[in-house]
Amino acid sequence: MEFECQESIEALKNLANCCETNRFSSNSVTKDLELSKLTLGCNPKKGSPSYCNSKKLPPNDVCSNFSRTITDLPPALISEILNCLDPKELGVVSCVSTALHNIASEHQVWKEFYCERWGLPTAALFSDEKSWKELFVEREHRCKTFLGRYSIDVLRCHTEAVRTVFLLASAKLIFTAGYDSIVRMWDMEEGGLSISSSRPLGCTIRAVAADTKLLVAGGTNGFIHCWKAVEGLEHLFDLTGVEKPNAELRLWEHEGPITSLALNLTRIYSGSWDMTVRVWNRSSLKCTQILRHGDWVWSLVPHDTTVASTSGSDVYVWETNSGTLLSVIRNAHVGYAYALAQSRTGDFLFSGGEDGAVHMFEIIIESKGHTVVQVATWIPHFGAVYALAFEFPWLVSASSDGKLALIDVRKLLRASRQPLRKSVPKVKESDQNTIEPPQRMLHGFGCNLYSVDIGADRIVCGGEEGVVRVWNFSQALEIEQRARALRGIRLENRMRRRRLQIEMNGKGRQSDRCSVAA
């Protein structure tokens, strides 16, 4: 009984620490702890602090109270405890008992897990019949597709090198552009069927970005060409200008070639060789902020009210409302830093450069400011890294050596979500020598891959050859299941033949013995 009491005291202390970490009010925690102490009814050792008093409960109630579980805690407290778990731990909890299975499986934290990694699901994936846990498990399982078999669709319409590709997975569209000054739109599902193309825009198009409301393309003449989505149009945008001529417009303010573009719900972001990043209001189409750099701007990625950019060999993090420079990573690469990518939560930033290296940084938000810490480095290429794209957990890089590298970052992340303060690092402390190399390299291109993008089961890239390749992994899991089934059938047939052979050999020995005896 004394041992059980000490165990209970330790559990109460841990519970109190957990509640304090999650910012519970001290009054509610104290009440819950006092209630739990009253129900334990056990005798402490002599000389030890009297945490429990058996006189408060009848002797018959002592044993029954030891059967209390976590489900007897207040629902709000259970919810906060489950919030501290990561998906794997929450899945383990759901296997403990029927009650915990119901609580853990229906917990709203599964929606947070899903949206933190992949954003809100598209209409095709979302169903009222599926819980958020089922959606998460299905998508997590789908992450394995990039290690499976694939097919390649080759899109041939551009007459010169392709400088930029963009995958709009929610609308199943692919946008490409390059030296031929034409923006082309392709159907992702129909084997890369060409849907539409714009008129020649008069200069090289180095950047394209889109969502379901707006498509933007940046040219070397310093303009941003915009297409607004046309209501009722199956493929959203009328690139030819036939359906709705006034759906096109241009923004002029940059004084040099535009190298990068990005969109969010309220803003347009553009980077240029005029050494600025400009932030535009999507409603008024006016420039609201100019972020000045000391060298050419090569790439940018926005998140919430911040935007990260590369200029020269440095990486910058800005606050877009005030234009404040939050952090600078000096000499992130030897030579130019060409490429950037970022996780959906904004915690992790990836850069690629002229030195062929790919760096992973963690952005830690503290009360005194933003701290950027380098987490890992890979050198998968023999040439410059021109483009990066990230879709949890896969980081894909495109290089001048004509190869794509796929890197799984999951093993670098901490398993637990606790504590929930953002100032605590979310990656494991690991030596550079223990970091795994890229899990897969994709070959078969010419030199100079300029752009890459990644979706749930597609990788799109374009380069100097003037063709766009779409690596389709959508059937990878099904192909693997069929291959396993065939391997199982072959193994079963082999074992059956072996058993028959053994039986035949046994009968042969018996007949030999009979002939000798005769």
Tens of pLDDT, residues 293-315: 999 999 999 998 999 999 999 99
Q: Tell whether the model's pLDDT for residue 27 goes beyond 70.
A: no
* pLDDT (tens digit per residue) in 474-492: 887 777 777 778 888 888 8
State whether residue 311 is helix, strand or coil: strand
Which residue type, as a one-letter code, is found at position 410? R
| Tokens 């899991």 sit on residue | 477
CA distance 166 to 160: 17
If one compares 273 and 86, the residue with the highest pLDDT of the two is 273
Rounded Cα–Cα distance for residues 160 and 464 (Å): 7
Q: Residue 67: pLDDT above 70? A: no
What are the chain's domains?
153-409+435-471 (2.130.10.10)
The pLDDT of residue 209:
97
Task: Describe the chain by its helix, strand, coil percentages, rounded to 5.
Answer: 30, 35, 40
Q: What percent of the chain has pLDDT over 70?
A: 80
- Of residues 512 and 353, more confidence is placed in 353
Higher-pLDDT residue of 247, 468: 468
Distance CA 239, CA 414 (A): 45
- What are the contacts of 279-286 at 24+ separation with CB within 8 A? 279/307, 279/320, 280/224, 280/251, 282/214, 285/226, 285/249, 285/251
Q: Are 466 and 159 in contact (CB under 8 A)?
A: yes
At residue 260, does pLDDT exceed 90? yes
pLDDT value for 126? 56
* Rounded Cα–Cα distance for residues 215 and 238 (Å): 10
Sorting pLDDT into bands at 50, 70 and 90, what band is 191?
A: confident
Backbone CA torsion sign across 330, 333, 336, 341: negative
Q: Is the pLDDT of residue 107 over 90?
A: no
H or E element, residue 481: helix 476-517
Average pLDDT over residues 105-131: 75
The two tokens of residue 88 are: 């794997």
Q: What's the whole-number mean pLDDT along residues 498-510? A: 80
Cβ contacts of 310 within 8 Å, gap of 6 or more? 297, 298, 299, 300, 316, 332, 336, 337, 338, 339, 340, 351
Asked whether 156 and 180 are in contact (CB, 8 A), the reply is no
Residue 425 pLDDT level (bands cut at 50, 70, 90): low
Q: What mean pLDDT comes out for the span 124-142? A: 76
Q: Which two tokens stand for residue 288?
A: 């609201």
pLDDT of 269 higher than 60: yes
Task: Give the pLDDT confidence score for residue 414 in this predicted structure.
Answer: 62
pLDDT at 94 over 70: yes
pLDDT at 493 > cutoff 70:
yes
Distance CA 514, CA 340 (A): 82
Contacts of 205 (CB under 8 A, 6+ apart): 163, 164, 177, 178, 181, 182, 183, 217, 218, 219
User: How confident is the model at residue 369, as a pLDDT?
Assistant: 76
Question: Is residue 42 pLDDT above 80, yes or no?
Answer: no
